[in-house]
Every structure is written in C-alpha cells, then in structure tokens.
C-alpha cells in the first residue's frame, strides 16, 4: 500500500509540475488582472464584458470600446476612487487583449476557468517569501508525505497483524477441539497434559504503534538542533573542568617536588645560611689577630 501511495504522490507531483510549467509571466498577469476585476465588479464580469464587447470582437472594436469607457472613468473626470481603480484595470485589460498571444491565453482560461492553484512560481513572484519561509514550506511538504506514508505503513501492518491473529485463533481452536476428543477417548495423562500446554500457550500478536506527528522531520529537526547545541556546550564545559583539575594537580606536584618545600628543604636552607655566616666571620677573626 505504501508503494502505491508513493507512486501516486510522484505522479501528482509530475502532473502539477507539467501543468504549472505552461504558465508564464503573461498568464500570471492575466491572473492578477482577473482577481482585481472580480474583487471590484464581481465574479460574473470578464475582460470582454467590462468593455461591453463580445469575445469575437476585433482589435479595433475593442480599442473603440476602451476609449469610450476609459473617458468616463478617467481620474481627471471622475474623482471616485473606484473609478480610478477601474481605469487601471481597463488599461491592463486592453493591453492583454491587444497582444495576440496574451488574448489566446485569456480565451483559454476564460473557457476552462481561472485555476485556483497557479504554481509555486506565481506565488513566489507575488509574495517574495524569504529563505526561512521557503525552508519551512519545504520541510512541511516533506513532513506531510512522511506522515501520510507512515499511516499507510501502519494500516498495512495492522491488517497483517489481524490476519495473523485470525490464523492463531483458528490453530488454537483446532488444538482445543483435539484436546477435548483426547479426553473423551481416555488418552494417557502425559499426552493430555502435553496437549493442554500446547493448547493453552498461544503467542500474542503485537499490534503496530500508530504514527505521531512528533516523528516528522519538521518536529524532529529543531529538537535535533537543540540537543546537538546542548551536547556541544556540555562537552565544552566538561573539557574546561578537566583542564582546571589537571592544572591544580600540576601545581600540587610542583609544590611537593620543589627543593625548598617541606622540612628537608627548610633544614637545607638553614644549613646553607649558617655556612655562609661562618665563612663570612672567619676573615674578621684573622684581622683581629
């Protein structure tokens, strides 16, 4: 089941990429103009009806209709803010309908409907998300596929566990029936006890654990980062403590091995001091003599 689900997700992704690859900047401009026109005049209005023209009208007929209507809603003649917005939309509409390729694209969307999902390129150009938003979006998509695949695997394992449980129940039921028959036929006690043990000892089937949203990459990645930083900080602190302990040990060893430290060192110092004093006093005695 999980295999077929993965194939289905891959096919949908390829289909979406194939559809959205056809839409370029001209399609995106048509989408924006249509959204602005619908928000201003309603869903039943299109590029031709706002110009009071038919879809089969020629370019010259569309230009005449545009000039007539644009004069009525021009900001210099009509101070209404809605008229100013309509004038901007009309300017964009006539520029689309003048271009042959853009008009063909609009006629296609008018016939088949303006798509709701317009591709990642359209939304990226419109909203310009940052690196953080894009990263979170990618991780959210991966987490969604991961979570759905985990549930598919869970239901597959659950179905297998139920099948195994049914088989074990059937086997244990047959063993119990055989045990009853052996009791009725007066079989030996040792054989009866053996059959009783084999009939009673039925292994339990472990059911799979349902997946949790905490196991997806979007939830696990921040926890991994936090745990890694915490382990690095604790390792650095332990290293500093080890260095401090080693330094204290070296100081103690130096103090113990120093010649002037301890009683022996103090005695040597006193002997050296008395020797220097006697040497210094000898010349003074010879001078007196």
Structure-token pair, residue 26: 């001209």
Which residue has better confidence, 122 or 20? Answer: 122
Measured distance CA(70)–CA(48) in Å, rounded: 14
157 contacts: CB under 8 Å, gap ≥ 6? 208
The pLDDT confidence band at residue 16, using thresholds 50, 70 and 90, is low
Which residue has better confidence, 287 or 267? Answer: 267
Structure-token pair, residue 1: 């089941």
Cα atoms in the Cβ-side hemisphere of radius 13 Å centred on 21 = 6
Q: Which tens digits make up the pLDDT trace of 212-228? A: 888 888 888 888 888 88
- DSSP three-state, residue 99: coil
* pLDDT higher than 90, residue 276: no
Note if the pTM is more than 0.75. no
């Amino acid at each position: 089941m999980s295999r077929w689900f993965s194939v289905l997700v891959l096919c949908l992704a390829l289909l979406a990429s194939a559809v959205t690859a056809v839409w370029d900047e001209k399609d995106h401009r048509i989408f924006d103009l249509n959204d602005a026109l619908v928000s201003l005049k309603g869903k039943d209005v299109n590029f031709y009806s706002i110009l009071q023209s038919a879809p089969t009208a020629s370019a010259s007929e569309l230009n005449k209709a545009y000039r007539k209507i644009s004069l009525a809603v021009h900001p210099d003649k009509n101070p209404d803010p809605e008229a100013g917005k309509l004038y901007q939309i009309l300017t964009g509409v006539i520029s689309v309908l003048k271009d042959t390729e853009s008009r063909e694209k609009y006629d296609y969307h008018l016939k088949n409907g303006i798509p709701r999902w317009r591709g990642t390129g359209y939304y990226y150009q419109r909203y310009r998300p940052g690196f953080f938003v894009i990263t979170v979006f990618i991780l959210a998509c991966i987490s969604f596929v991961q979570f759905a695949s985990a549930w598919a695997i869970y239901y597959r394992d659950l179905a297998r566990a139920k099948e195994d449980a049914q088989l074990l129940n059937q086997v244990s039921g047959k063993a119990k029936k055989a045990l009853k028959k052996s009791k009725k036929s007066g079989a030996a006690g040792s054989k009866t006890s053996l059959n009783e043990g084999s009939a009673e000892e039925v292994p339990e089937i472990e059911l799979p654990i349902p997946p949790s949203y905490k196991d997806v990459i979007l939830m696990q990645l921040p926890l991994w980062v936090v745990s890694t930083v915490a382990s690095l900080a604790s390792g650095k602190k332990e290293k500093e403590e080890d260095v401090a302990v080693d330094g204290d040990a070296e100081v103690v060893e130096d103090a113990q091995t120093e010649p002037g430290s301890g009683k022996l060192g103090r005695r040597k110092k006193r002997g050296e001091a008395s020797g220097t004093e006697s040497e210094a006093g000898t010349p003074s005695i010879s001078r007196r003599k």
